[in-house]
Amino acid sequence: MPPSLYAKYKDYFPIGAAVNSKTLHSEQELLKKHFNSITAENEMKPILLQPQEGIFTFEKSDEMFAFAEANNKMVRGHTLVWHNQTPDWFFENEDGTQVSREKLIERMETHITTVVSRYKGRVYAWDVVNEVISDHEGEYLRKSKWLDILGEDFISIAFEIAHKADPEASLFYNDYNESDPEKREKIYRLVKSLKDKGVPIHGVGLQAHWNIYGPTIDDIRAAIERYSSLGLQLQLTELDVSVFEHGDKRTDLTEPTEELLELQEKRYDEFFKLLREYRDVITGVTFWGVSDRYTWLSDFPVRGRKNWPFVFDVDQNPKESFWKLVNF
Ligand code: G3I
């Protein structure tokens, strides 16, 4: 019988999984046994929670909270301010023209306050601001409507509003390619500037969309050291280990080869060895899914392509990677 993954990590950090309305049911037994935290993969994003101005749709996220609370699981909140999966109405007047600064701040405040207050005391960490750093060389912040209309201030304003709504929740800045040295420095610069200004930010979310070839352990270690030097918590928020190298658009695999699985196992082993070393600063590790039956990576970057990024296989059985995580 495989041991419970989260129980094995009780002296280290909570082990989480992203769920959606389908996997909340189909992966229920794995969730109950192996994970002590859940995150909504999509259901708590602005476009799902407030598709039209003033019309909040909480049914799906409420269902996740009900599952979490009935089964003693913690909840990570994802996400409040993002350039993606945010309805256009946020940024537009009724006649289609761009909203004023005041109007956008008012809409941001209504959204964050309504959502965070509803789940006050029930979310241990919120991804307040997601992915605002640019991936382009020489460019600091990502171009977005938030940035166009509010300037860089939108980031600190979002944290202030979230903190007011739930002063006990840990508030995170969350991003991907977080271990890339150039992007790491930009993320560091942003988070440091927020800390220096006294903005209520408590953590950095390292999404950790990794693969069997990268990033290197040295780069991950350097990122952990750099972010934690700011005295903040770190959480891995969206961990998956793709069997394809970044940019590989191959579509010919219908199941993973032994060779790929062995490489993946080696990666999981070295990742978790490193994470265990940093248990003082790492306060959570969330996988961006549960088992290989479903992953967003099966549609990315090519629609319909399969991927097998987790430690449970398509039949929900533990893979060799799982055993590497629990045998230490
Ligand atoms: O809900 C609609 C459905 O009505 C429609 O019929 C269908 C047709 O394509 O699309 C459905 O929406 C999809 C949505 O997931 C819900 O399933 C979107 O097309 C699809 O783009 C969306 O993908 C999500 C993606 O974020 C959006 O950027 C993935 O599931 C989700 O895993 C992914 O998660 C993000 C994190 O939030 C932030 N970090 C990166 C991570 C991976 O991209």
Q: Which protein residues are within 6 Å of ligand 1, measured from CB?
A: 41-42, 84-85, 130, 176, 207, 238, 296
Q: Which residues are catalytic?
A: 131, 238
Interacting residues of 177 by C-beta distance below 8 A, sequence separation 6+: 135, 183
Under DSSP, is residue 44 helix (H, G, I), strand (E, B) or coil?
coil
List the chain residues with pLDDT less than 70.
Answer: none
Ligand 1, atom nearest to 288 Cα = 32
Interacting residues of 95 by C-beta distance below 8 A, sequence separation 6+: none
CA nearest ligand 1 atom 12, residue: 42
- Give residue 250's pLDDT: 86
Please, what is the end-to-end C-alpha distance for the chain in angstroms? 17
Tokens, residue 274: 């490193």
Contact 13, 35 (CB under 8 A): no
> Distance from the CA of 6 to the center of ligand 1, in angstroms?
27
CA nearest ligand 1 atom 30, residue: 296
> Distance from the CA of 47 to the center of ligand 1, in angstroms?
11
- Give residue 157's pLDDT: 98
Specify the amino acid at residue 40.
A
- Give residue 251's pLDDT: 87
Tokens 């006294």 correspond to: 198
* ipTM (interface predicted TM): 0.96
pLDDT digits (tens, 9 = 90+) for 210-254: 999 999 999 999 999 999 999 999 999 999 999 999 888 888 899
Conformation bin of residue 256: beta by default, left when phi > 0, alpha when psi is -120 to 50: beta
Tokens, residue 79: 């996400």
Predicted TM-score (pTM) above 0.90: yes
Please, where are the H alpha helices in the chain? 5-8, 23-26, 28-34, 46-49, 59-70, 101-118, 145-150, 153-165, 181-196, 217-228, 258-277, 320-326
